[in-house]
Amino acid sequence: MPTGTDTAALPKGKIGDLEVSRIILGGNLLTHYHHCRDQSYVYGLVTHYNTEEKLLETFAVAEENGINTMSVHTVDWTHQLLKKHRDRGGKLQWIFCPTADVDDPDLTEYKEEIARLTDLGANAFYVWGEHTDVLVSEGKADVIPRILDIFRSHNVPAGVGAHDLAVIKASEDGGFDPDFYVKTHHHHDYPTAPKDISALTTPQEEIPGYWDRDPAATAEYMAGVEKPWIAFKTMAAGTIPPESAFDYVFKNGADFVFAGMFDFEIADDVEIASGIISNLGADRSRPWRG
């Protein structure tokens, strides 16, 4: 098993009443959704590597290295695995991204899913970016604060996720008042990045692989946002090295980072992030908001 680094080395911040490590274990490698574009064999490769026991080991390694929180989509078998981790004494906090239907006017399935996940032990929720991007683009942004109210009824931090910066703007302009934001952020200095952002018509695409259409605009807007900001897709789904990714997003004002990591990457990534954070100084463009 990979050895742990000094757990005190990874700084923490606050989201609501939660104390959260600046690096949060991302969930896509755990749910076997890897953004591998047209290299479909990667799905099978990762599925064979990240067995149930390997995932439990990964959770333990994350905790050994100072990560105290993880995020994952609502996939039932994964939730049961997280419960097994806690049954073994694990203490990772869970930030869940529900995927139930948001088109139902009564949000019945959504409410039921939140109740189940709360009973399981959820520590926070955020509205999935795949949902918010569409809701805002279709003029249905008013659904988002209704979902936030569902989260709040369970007395946990309630967040808004997005790939599209228009979602964050709608939330800020509309006074949705979430406890935190989850927004994609990565630079475009990698071989498969889009070369002309003026030609991009969607917030994200698998090919060419980008998840933050205009990173400069994201950084500029988020500089004025006072809510804690978790950046995700910071490595452009495995394309940008962690040294470059973490340096970029923390300098641009992200308070936390979702990072999908295999067990053998965790210690090095935590050491990299801790060093970057401790040496930011005046290079950081935004006050810590969490």
Tell me the pLDDT tens digit for each residue of 145-163: 999 999 999 999 999 999 9
Contact 186, 208 (CB under 8 A): no
What letter would DSSP give residue 283?
G
Least confident of 74-88, 111-125, 227-241: 74-88
Instruction: Locate 130 and state its tokens.
Output: 């795949």
Q: Is the pLDDT of residue 3 over 70?
A: no
- Pairing between strand 12-15 and 69-73? unpaired
Residue 6 has pLDDT above 80, yes or no: no
User: pLDDT (tens digit, 9 = 90+) per residue, 13-30?
Assistant: 999 999 999 999 998 777
Q: pLDDT grade, residue 238 (50/70/90)? A: confident
Q: Which residue has the higher pLDDT, 290 or 112?
A: 112
User: What residue has token string 């006050």?
Assistant: 287
210, 125, 75, 34: CA torsion to nearest 10: 20
Question: Which structure tokens are listed for 258?
Answer: 């979702």
Cα 189 to Cα 207: distance, rounded to the nearest angstrom:
16
Residue 207: its pLDDT value, please? 84
CA proximity to 13, closest of 4, 26, 23: 23
Domains, the chain: 14-283 (3.20.20.100)
**Per-residue confidence at 260, pLDDT binned at 50, 70, 90?**
very high
Contact 46, 90 (CB under 8 A): no
Residues across the chain = 290
pLDDT tens figures, 54-102:
999 999 999 999 999 999 887 778 888 999 999 999 999 999 999 999 9
CA 106 vs. chain centroid, Å, equals 27
The better pLDDT of the pair 205, 170 is held by 170
Tell me what the mean pLDDT of segment 214-229 comes to: 98
Burial of 118 (0-12, 13-18, 19+ CB in 10 A): middle
Structure tokens at 178: 């979430």
CA distance 272 to 245: 10
Q: Where are the alpha helices (DSSP H) in the chain?
A: 41-49, 52-64, 76-87, 108-120, 129-137, 143-152, 165-174, 215-222, 242-251, 263-278
Gap between the Cα atoms of 162 and 239, Å rounded: 20
Q: Higher model confidence: residue 208 or residue 289?
A: 289
For the chain, the C-alpha Rg in angstroms (whole number) is 18
Residue 4's pLDDT band (boundaries 50, 70, 90)?
low
Grouping H, G, I as helix, E, B as strand and the rest as coil, residue 252 is coil
More confident residue, 9 or 167: 167
Gap between the Cα atoms of 241 and 238, Å rounded: 7
Query: What mean pLDDT is predicted for residues 259-278?
Result: 96
Residues 231-250 as b/e (b if ≥16 CB within 10 A, e otherwise) read: bbbbbbbbbbebebbbbbbb
